[in-house]
Amino acid sequence: MTIAKGDRIPSATFTRMTDNGPEQVSSEEFFAGRTVALFSVPGAFTPTCSAKHLPGFVEKAEALKEKGVDEIACTAVNDAFVMGAWGKSAGADDKVTMLADGNGDFAKAVGLTMDGSKFGMGTRGQRFSMIVKDGTIAELNVEEPGSFSVSSADHLLSQL
C-alpha cells in the first residue's frame, strides 16, 4: 500500500556519508521534531535526477528554509558512497542531505517502488517529494512514470 498524506513515516534505516564514513540513521530519529523536505529519485547520476531534480533543490534551498523547512534530504536506492559522491559533484554538501536507501527498504515501506530492470537498474524508488512534519507526511507528490513536475523544488515550495 502506498503511503498517503497524514500518514506517519514508516520505520526504516538510511545511510549517509560523513567525514568519518557511512553512518546509519533511523527514519524516526531523522524526521523527529522538525520539518523536512524529502525527495526521491530513481538513481544518482541519472539524467533527469542530475540535470533537474537535485539541482533544483540545491538552488531553492534557502527559499525552502525561509518557508520553515529545517532540512532538505534526497533519497535513492543507491549506496552511501554513490550518494555522497553525487552530492559533492552537485554542490549539495551543505544544502541537501543525501540519504542512501541501499536495499530499497524505505521505498518499499512507503509503497513507492518502480521496476527499472529494463534499464539494468532493478527495483528502485519512484520519483516523488514530500513535506514531513515531525514524522507525519504533510504533503506528498508522486510523479507519473517518465514525468518531472510535481516532485520539483518549485512545486514543493508552492505547497509551503
Is 49 part of the annotated catalytic residue set?
yes
Q: Work out the pLDDT band at 43, boundaries 50, 70, 90.
A: confident
Cell for 52?
Answer: 533537474
Question: Looking at 3, 17, 49, 76, which residue is catalytic?
Answer: 49
Question: Which pTM does this prediction carry?
Answer: 0.94
Which burial class, exposed, middle or buried, applies to 72 when counting CB atoms under 10 A from its CB (0-12, 13-18, 19+)? buried
Read off the pLDDT of residues 80-121 as tens digits, 9 standing for 90 and up: 999 999 999 999 989 999 999 999 999 999 999 888 888 877
Domain ranges of the chain: 13-158
Of 39, 60, 30, 32, nearest to 133 by C-alpha is 32
Q: What is the Cα–Cα distance from 134 to 29, expressed in whole angstroms?
A: 10
Cell for 153?
Answer: 523544488
| CATH annotation of 13-158 | 3.40.30.10
pLDDT at 124: 82
Residue indicated by cell numbers 514543493: 156
